[in-house]
Amino acid sequence: MGSSNNMALVAGAGAGLGQSLLARFEAAGMHPVGLGRTRPADPVGMFHEIDLSDEAEVADRIGNLIALHGPPRIVVHNTAELVIAPFAETALADFERTWTSMVQTLVVLAQSVLQPMVRGGGGTLVVSGATASLRGGARFSAFASAKFALRGLTQSLAREYQPLGVHVAHVILDGIIDTERSRNLHSLDPSKMMKPEEIAEAYWQLAQQPGSAWTHELDLRPASEGF
């Protein structure tokens, strides 16, 4: 039996926000565990390569982690699958892929962690949203439909699980996250991008909120971002 009941699980723990979350949780003395498709170079804490949309694999892996460490105190859903294209050039497969990667993964993750968290006395589940969680923009039909779905699902989970002691929060990330990948993709001045470690701090603060004042939804954006 390892450290009891201080596991922090990040599903979608790639380079960028995922790793910054794990670093923040580790700095606070949590036991950081990352899950994802691709092992980042030099991951924080343990990393499990896993297909997060695979129900059996996720149930098995998380079941093992819980058996070992107890139910997680913090769980973050942070998978991403961006598609930007006119609807006429967006295939049904693109819609399926965004849904599987972002919605199915939360269904499967929540099935594995929520009941153990209830039995373990609570904890926090944070779900990463985006500008497209609130606005279906042109060229975002696949991505926005999945991000909207994720928001509806997260609300529903909050309404079921908060009275049982699990805090469920949805964060609207309204800006470009500063990563090596986004610096290559976007011409945006990096000083106008969101720093992963500053976002991670906000997630950490959510997980610290005491039970009389829980946030279900907040937005985060750079000072310079129009909205």
- Site residues for a second copy, 94-123, by CB under 8 A, read 95-96, 99, 103-104, 107-108, 110-111, 114-115
Binding of residue 41 to a second copy (CB under 8 A): no
Please tell me the number of Cα atoms within 13 Å of 216 on its side-chain side. 13
Query: Under rule CB under 8 A, which residues in 117-176 are in contact with a second copy?
Result: 132, 135-141, 144-163, 165, 167, 175
Among 29, 42, 88, 180, binds a second copy (CB under 8 A): 88
Helix axes 92-99, 141-161, angle to 10 degrees: 30
How do beta strands 74-77 and 123-130 pair?
Answer: parallel
33 sits near a second copy (criterion: CB under 8 A): no
CA dihedral of residues 65, 70, 73, 79 (deg, nearest 10): 10
CB 48 within 8 A of CB 37: no
State which residue, 47 or 106, has the beta carbon closest to a second copy: 106
Q: Does 37 bind a second copy (CB under 8 A)?
A: no
Q: How many residues bind a second copy (CB under 8 A)?
A: 74
User: Which CB, 4 or 224, lies closer to a second copy?
Assistant: 224
Decide: 75 and 120 in contact? Cβ < 8 Å: no
Q: How far is the CB of 64 from a second copy (least distance, A)?
A: 20
